[in-house]
Structure 1
Amino acid sequence: MPKAIKCFVNYVDATNKVVGKFSQYLVFVMMGVLLFESISRTLFNQPHIWVVEIAQFTMAAYYLLGGGYSMILDGHVRMDLLYGRWSPKRRAVVDMLTAIVLIFYLVLLLYGAISSLEYALRYKQVNYTSWAPPLAPIKIIMTIGIVLMLLQSIAIFFKDLATARGESL
Structure 2
Amino acid sequence: MSIVALLLLFLINNYLNFWLQWPGLPSFFSHHGWFGLETLRTPLEGDQIVKGWLQLLSYLGAVALAILYVLSTRKRPLRADAALLSGFAAYIIRASFWVVLIVGFADILISFLRVEELLPSLIGDDLTQALGRPQFRGLYVHCPLILLSFVVAVFNRSLGFTWLAFLVVLAEFQIVISRFVFSYEQPFMGDLVRFWYAALFLFASAYTLVHDGHVRVDVLYSRFGKRSKAWTNTVGTLLLGLPLGWIILVTGMWDKTSSINSPLHSFEVSQSGYGLYVKYLMVGFLAVYAVSMIIQFASYLLDNTLTSVRNQVVIS
TM interval, shorter chain, is: 0.7 to 0.9
Structure number with the bigger relative contact order (C-alpha 8 A, sep ≥ 6) is 1
Corresponding residue of 2:189: 51
Specify the SS of the correspondent of 2:160. helix
Q: Does 1:119 align with 2:257?
A: no
* More off after superposition, 137-146 vs 126-135: 126-135
Question: Which residue of the partner structure matches residue 92 of structure 1?
Answer: 230
What amino acid sits opposite 2:281 in the alignment?
Answer: P
Greater displacement, 115-124 / 79-88: 115-124
- Return the match for 2:292 from 125, 144, 148: 148
- Aligned partner of residue 45 in structure 1, secondary structure: coil
Are residues 150 and 75 of structure 1, via their aligned partners in 2, closer, same or farther at CA, if it must alter by over 3 Å? same
AA aligned to 1:46 is Y
Match of 1:81 among 203, 213, 219: 219
Which deviates more, 125-134 or 60-69? 125-134
Match for 1:121: what amino acid?
A: L
Offset at residue 4 of structure 1 (A):
8.0
Contact 1:106 1:150 in 2 (8 A): yes
- What TM-score, normalized by structure 1, do the two folds share? 0.83
Contact 2:161–2:200 (8 Å) recurs in 1: yes
Kept in 1: contact 2:78–2:306 (CA 8 A): no
The one-letter code of the counterpart of 1:108 is I
Q: Check the 8 A contact 1:61/1:142 in 2, yes or no.
A: no
Q: Which one of the candidate residues 77, 84, 109 is aligned to 2:248?
A: 109
CA spacing shift, 1:88–1:4, aligned 2, 3 Å = closer
Contact 2:248 2:286 in 1 (8 A): no
RMSD: 2.4
Larger gyration radius, structure 1 or structure 2: 2
Q: Do residues 12 (structure 1) and 93 (structure 2) align?
A: no
When residues 23 and 146 of structure 1 are mapped into structure 2, their CA distance, relative to the original with a 3 A threshold, is farther
What do residues 83-135 of structure 1 show as CA deviations (whole Å, max 9, x unaligned)? 11110100110111111121011101122343433201333322344556442
Give the 3 Å change call, closer, same or farther, for CA 55–112 of structure 1 in structure 2: farther
Gaps of 5+ in 2: 1-72, 95-158, 312-316
Q: Does the 8 Å contact 1:125/1:135 carry over to 2?
A: yes
CA contact (8 A) 2:82 2:299 kept: yes
Relative distance call for 1:157 and 1:40 in structure 2 (3 A) is: same
Q: Answer yes or no: is the 8 Å Cα contact 1:17–1:69 preserved in 2.
A: yes
Task: Tell me the distance in 2 between the aligned counterparts of 1:148 and 1:134.
Answer: 21
Give distance in 2, aligned partners of 1:128 and 1:99. Answer: 39
Query: Greater CA deviation, 9-18 or 58-67?
Result: 9-18
- For 2:81 and 2:259, the matched residues in 1 are separated by 28
